[in-house]
Amino acid sequence: MRRNKILQIRAHHLLCIQGFQGYGYDEPFTYNLKKIHSIFFNQKQIRLIISNDVICQKCPFSCGNNKYCLKKGFDARILDLKILKILGLKPERAVKLNQLLFYSNQDKKKTIKLKKLCKDCEWNSKCLWFLS
């Protein structure tokens, strides 16, 4: 990632990256997510998107056409849109990272709604964000 370029991530990855602690679908995915995680909290702004992002690039469920997730029974785009609605944000807009972290962690009403969306996630037993 180039310096000064705004990191673009799927809206639901805002939550996943906060709870990440080294688990993943496979080694390439986990290695990539570790790299993204290591730079995430140093960003001034983040752009939340509703299509495949830098995390999806190494996901075994990515179809590679920058639009869809092939994970059975999971519609990433709908989840992204629901998260954006809860946060009161529009896709593709750059937002200050500290604002995003406040919305997803300190605004109790929003945090409760977000956690309800994550209740069926296969990672919620390991996700530090979900467990907090």
Question: Along the 132 residues of the chain, how does pLDDT read in single tens digits?
Answer: 545 689 999 999 999 999 999 999 999 999 999 999 999 999 999 999 998 899 998 988 887 665 667 777 788 899 999 999 999 999 999 999 999 999 999 999 999 999 999 998 889 899 998 998
H helix or E strand, kind and range, residue 45: strand 45-49
Give the pLDDT confidence score for residue 25 in this predicted structure: 92
Which residue ranges make up each domain of the chain? 7-121
Helix segments in the chain, DSSP class H:
13-19, 27-40, 76-87, 97-105, 108-117, 128-131
pTM of the shown model: 0.89
C-alpha of 40 from chain center = 11
